[in-house]
């Protein structure tokens, strides 16, 4: 393996072994618990694919290093900041380090930046999403992507909601996790009450048959906060009870519920269609 550098100021760094500590940022990318602790300890996340890497850099996240196969270097060369190493390896070595076939060929280790407080993120927003304890990183990424597509201005996460900067979320979102502002609540218990005090109409999305049809609810809502529940059990009783209104996307009685990311996309579209 070798390290290539852009034409400007980066030093050339040789990598002789796959155990090189400089590759530690990229180790075992499929091992969720290892990655969670490593990324939290190091304050990093992994961006994958040229488009997503460029979007992360444009959004202002500092890059620690790149790891890619030779064929991606020219395409990304102009995006490599001075002094940042770019490690290059054959695809088989990439797979050995990361634990999977890196189809999009390029990875970047990026530094996290502190999240703003909820109040700051939602101030000035006229429509937001609130995610309670979504577990699946794919769903988080897909929700951000749909939110960006339909003009949602901010997303608020419950304290235990999965991390939007986990590699899978970042990838599925196609970088929307960098463009839709988000914040994490510090407390779950009074989280919705705080949003109401900030002037939002808190709308709990549930497939329950006794909830009001969402199209009717969005027509009268001035500043909607659409609240989505976890994949298995849906919204907690506390949050459903705290909402101003419970609303459902009408679906066939033959189907229990929508996937949470699909529900989010439909609900966001309904908001957009009021414009
Ligand atoms: C897979 S569902 C959870 C299903 C759970 N058994 C329930 O009854 O809520 C995950 C989340 O998606 C949203 N959702 C799914 N289908 C919906 C629908 N038809 N109308 C409104 N929200 C829906 C809700 O926010 C729900 O908490």
Domains contained in the chain, CATH given? 2-111 (3.30.1330.30), 118-272 (3.40.1280.10)
Tokens of 259: 């996937």
At 229 the pLDDT is 98
Average pLDDT rounded to a whole number, residues 193-199? 97
Complete DSSP assignment for 193-259: HHHHHTT-EEEEE---TTSEEHHHHHHH-SSEEEEE-BTTTBS-HHHHHHSSEEEE----TTS----
Minimum CA distance residue for ligand 1 atom 12? 260
Alpha-carbon distances of 41 from 36, 114, 137, rounded to whole Å: 9, 14, 19
Alpha-carbon distances of 247 from 110, 214, 270, rounded to whole Å: 39, 5, 12
CA of 166 to the centre of ligand 1 (A): 23
At 8 the pLDDT is 45
Nearest residue to 176 (alpha-carbon basis) of 152, 154, 150, 145: 145
Helix (H/G/I), strand (E/B), else coil: 99: coil
- Report whether pLDDT(275) > 80: no
Contact in structure between 22 and 85 (CB atoms under 8 Å):
yes
Minimum CA distance residue for ligand 1 atom 5? 234
**256 CB-near residues (< 8 Å, 6+ apart):** 207
Q: By percentage, how much of the chain surpasses pLDDT 90?
A: 76
Q: What is the mean pLDDT of the chain?
A: 91
CA of 258 to the centre of ligand 1 (A): 6
**92 CB-near residues (< 8 Å, 6+ apart):** none
Q: pLDDT class for 14, splitting at 50, 70, 90?
A: very low
Pocket test for ligand 1, best of 143, 209, 231, 258 (most atoms within 8 A of CB): 258
At 16 the pLDDT is 60
User: What are the helix (H) ranges across the chain?
Assistant: 32-42, 50-58, 73-76, 91-98, 118-122, 137-149, 167-173, 176-179, 191-197, 214-220, 237-242, 260-272
In this structure, the residues whose C-beta lies within 6 A of any atom of ligand 1 are 205-207, 228-229, 231, 233-235, 248-249, 251, 257-258, 260, 263
Nearest residue to 3 (alpha-carbon basis) of 79, 73, 100, 97: 73
Atom in ligand 1 nearest the alpha carbon of residue 227? 25
Q: By percentage, how much of the chain surpasses pLDDT 70?
A: 93
Gap between the Cα atoms of 140 and 259, Å rounded: 12
At 92 the pLDDT is 85
- Report whether pLDDT(13) > 80: no
Minimum CA distance residue for ligand 1 atom 25? 228
- pLDDT digit string (tens) for 140-177? 999 999 999 999 999 999 999 999 999 999 999 999 99
Gap between the Cα atoms of 216 and 16, Å rounded: 63
At 7 the pLDDT is 47
- Report whether pLDDT(237) > 90: yes
- pLDDT digit string (tens) for 197-236? 999 999 999 999 999 999 999 999 999 999 999 999 999 9
């Amino acid at each position: 393996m070798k390290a290539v550098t852009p034409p400007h100021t980066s030093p050339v760094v040789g990598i002789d072994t796959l155990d090189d500590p400089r590759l530690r940022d990229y180790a075992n990318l499929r091992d969720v618990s290892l990655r969670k602790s490593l990324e939290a300890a190091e304050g990093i996340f992994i961006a994958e694919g040229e488009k997503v890497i460029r979007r992360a850099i444009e959004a202002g996240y500092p890059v620690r290093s790149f790891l890619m196969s030779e064929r991606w270097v020219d395409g990304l060369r102009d995006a490599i900041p001075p002094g940042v190493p770019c490690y290059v390896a054959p695809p088989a070595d990439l797979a050995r380090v990361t634990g999977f076939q890196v189809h999009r060929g390029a990875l970047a280790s990026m530094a996290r930046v502190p999240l703003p407080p909820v109040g700051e993120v939602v101030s000035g927003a006229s429509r937001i999403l609130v995610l309670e304890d979504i577990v699946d990183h794919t769903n988080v990424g897909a929700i951000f992507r749909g939110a960006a597509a339909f003009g949602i201005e901010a997303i608020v996460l419950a304290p235990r909601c999965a991390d939007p900067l986990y590699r899978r979320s970042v990838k599925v979102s196609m970088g929307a996790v960098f463009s839709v502002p988000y914040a994490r609540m510090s407390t779950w218990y009074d989280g919705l009450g705080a949003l109401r005090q900030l002037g939002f109409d808190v709308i709990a999305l549930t497939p329950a048959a006794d909830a009001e049809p969402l199209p009717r609810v969005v027509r009268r809502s001035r500043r909607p906060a659409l609240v989505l529940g976890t994949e298995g059990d849906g919204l907690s009783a506390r949050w459903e009870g705290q909402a101003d209104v419970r609303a459902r996307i009408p679906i066939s009685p033959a189907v229990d519920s929508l996937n949470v990311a699909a529900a989010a996309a439909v609900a966001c579209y309904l908001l957009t269609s009021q414009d």
